Structure 1
Amino acid sequence: MYHTIPEMKTKHIAMWACPRSRSTAITRAFEQLDDCTIYDEPLDGCCFVNAFTDQGEIDYAADYLSRHADTNYSSIVKKLTGDLPEGKSFSFQKHMSNHLLPEFDRSWLSEVKNFFLIRNPRETVLSYYKARTASGFAWEEWESRVGWEEHYQLFKEIEHLTQKIPLVIDSGDLVKNPRDYLKLLCSKLGVDFSEKMLNWESKDTKILSWENTTFETFSEKVINSTGFFQEDQEDINIPDILEPCIDKCMPFYDEMSKYRLIV
């Protein structure tokens, strides 16, 4: 039988996501809270130096490391689980599940409040494909990094570690009713909802931008946004080349979707 995890005095919230699941938009919502400190993909640089080894990836080292100079896993984890900056009452950590490499220790995950963000793979895979190819990358070299298998594996690992099914939210549900959904999500996470989470100033972010890097187009649309939005349906036209990848990802989404938060 699952047991209840004791309430933590210091709140550290870890959101685990796949690429293109609207994780940046949700992070922008939490960025509006004055008592929240944001850690945007803090394991990215560490993952890069440990996993990306071919010359094509090394060419982009400066772009990765300009945002995440600390690549020491132990010191990153200490920050993610340690004392908060002055004036802050909790941290909101945006993580990609595939940044948590198999050799990385997971024990710290029991010290944070974890939740998983999902979005239909027909949308995430298409969006990832568009972002990669628009930046000049070959899809065949990046298809394996859509992240769904790692996402589901981590979901099961945290379930086993905490003896509790992690909270799951579907961004497709959230964008249809952001106010009520964020209110419920904040309640589940143990933080106060604010109306400020629903809107923000275009480009007014200090930490969520890949500006002046190879990956600038990846977050351009959400950085220029002023709130949550849904893509036009005419954009959801799936090239045949993506169908095998989507078919592989869909069972992971379907399984996690069973546990998603319903408003």
Structure 2
Amino acid sequence: MPTLMIFVKQQILFLLLNFLIRAIMNQKIIGLWSTPRSRSTAFMWMIKQRGDFLVLYEPFWPSAYYSKERIFNRVPDITPQAEYNYQNVLQDLKVKSQNNRLFIKDFPYYFIQIVNNEFIDYFQHTFLIRNPAQMLPSYYYKMPDLDFEECGYKELFELFNKVVERTGKIPIVINADDLVENTRDIVKEYCSRIGIPFMAEALNWNPPSNSNKIGWWDNGIWHDDLRISYGFQNTEKSYLKIHQDQKLLSLYNLCMPYYEKLNEYCLLQRK
């Protein structure tokens, strides 16, 4: 009888272990899709503080700029790397997700051309938006030769529509201003919607040290605000205003319609 009980317990443990393994393997990668200069890196850093996710920064960025399939030529004197080709990166994400709860943040304009039903099915899609009137001056300051395609609003909206069409559901959309003004409520609702526990302690953090590399191209100019932050916060900067520069105004007029459409679905309605 004791031998039988031991055998039964072993079988139960075996079944439970297999169930947990299958559950992990079937978990979708959580994707935070955004545009540049929209507090997405701060959001990623908040998720990293939780300790229950493997967090990856813009895995498709090298594909867009450094692969043999690159779509941007900002670094013309490089040797394209096949390891960064889109399917190789996607396969790497799939492998990592088999043993880890995976969270990535990325910009759809890096990869929108490869999005199909299989791609959509592999992710749990969440969106972060920011008013172009705030995003563009910051982006322009960092990258004066930016163009509409690298603003990313059109591709963000295109991915949103593809997700809705495929799933029949409206994905989570967060307005970046709400992360500052209603941090706890927004993050708590975000966690509830994607099915993870809310951890209030992750809302505050120690700034990344100078030796702590945040992303692929961390040359000291893109994450300077995060390196002095302890949570989601506004920063006062003397950027050009939209109406003070014709290029900014033109980009604003192109980006704003996509922002407004996405804003209709955000967790808190904003004017």
Asked if residue 158 in structure 1 is aligned to residue 171 in structure 2, the reply is no
Pairs aligned (count) = 241
Q: Give me the whole-angstrom Cα distance separating, in 1, the residues matched to 2:255 and 2:72.
A: 25
3-state DSSP of counterpart to 1:186 = helix
SS at match of 1:115: strand
Partner residue of 1:57? Answer: 75
| Inter-partner Cα distance in structure 1 for 2:31 and 2:103 | 6
Q: Say whether residues 1:219 and 2:227 are aligned partners.
A: no
Give me the whole-angstrom Cα distance separating, in 2, the residues matched to 1:161 and 1:193: 28
Aligned CA-pair RMSD: 2.8
Answer yes or no: is 1:208 the counterpart of 2:214: yes
Deviation of 1:233 after TM superposition, in Å, equals 7.7
Identify the residue that residue 169 of structure 1 maps to in structure 2.
174
Give the Å deviation of 1:74. Answer: 2.1
Give the Cα–Cα distance (whole angstroms) in 1 for the partners of residues 172 and 94 of structure 2. Answer: 19
The residue identity in structure 1 corresponding to 2:87 is S
Alpha carbons 2:33, 2:106 under 8 Å: kept: yes
Deviations 1:237-256 (A, max 9, x none): 32322111101111111111
* Structure 1 residue 184: Cα displacement: 0.9
Is 1:32 paired with 2:37?
A: no
Structure with larger Rg: 2
Partner of 1:23: 40
Tell whether the 8 Å contact from 1:52 to 1:58 is kept in structure 2 after alignment: no
Percent identity, aligned pairs only? Answer: 28
Task: Note the alpha carbon deviations across 1:40-90, whole angstroms, 9 max, x for none.
Answer: 100111121223464x5224x59x98xxx940322322233345475x4x2
2:182 and 2:115 map into 1 onto residues whose CA distance is 36
Q: Please name the residue that 1:79 is paired with.
A: 92
Structure 2 stretches lacking a partner, 5+ long: 1-22
Deviations 1:72-121 (A, max 9, x none): 322322233345475x4x21110101011424545222122101110101
TM-score, normalized by length of structure 2? Answer: 0.78
Residue of structure 1 in register with 2:234 after alignment: 230
Match of 1:92 in 2: 103
Residue in 2 that maps onto 1:248? 254
Q: Distance in 2 between matches of 1:46 and 1:212?
A: 17
Distance in structure 2 (CA, Å) of the matches to 1:199 and 1:154:
31
Q: Tell me the amino acid that sits aligned with residue 79 of structure 1.
A: D
CA distance in 1, matches of 2:28, 2:71: 32
CA deviation map 1:114-145 (0-9, x unaligned):
01110101111111101113xxxxx2x53431
Residue type of the alignment partner of 2:127: F
Select the residue among 111, 131, 135 that pairs with 2:122. 111
Aligned mates of 1:165, 1:47 — CA distance in 2: 27
Do the aligned partners of 1:168 and 1:259 also contact (CA within 8 Å) in 2? yes
After superposition, the Cα gap between the structure-2 partners of 1:106 and 1:96, relative to the gap in structure 1 and judged at 3 Å, is farther
Distance of 2:84 and 2:96 partners within structure 1: 19
The secondary structure found in structure 1 opposite 2:55 is strand
Amino acid at match of 1:243: L
Deviation at 1:178, TM superposition (A): 0.9
**One-letter code aligned to 1:32:** Q
The answer on whether the counterparts of 1:210 and 1:219 sit within 8 Å (CA) in structure 2 is: no
Task: Find the aligned partners of 2:215 and 2:234 in 1 and give their Cα distance.
Answer: 20
* Conserved? CA contact 2:58–2:215, under 8 Å: no
CA–CA separation in structure 1 for the residues paired with 2:212 and 2:197: 22
Instruction: After superposition, give the CA deviation of every residue in 1:206-229 in whole Å (9 maximum; x if it has no partner).
Output: 55245763xx30122213322111
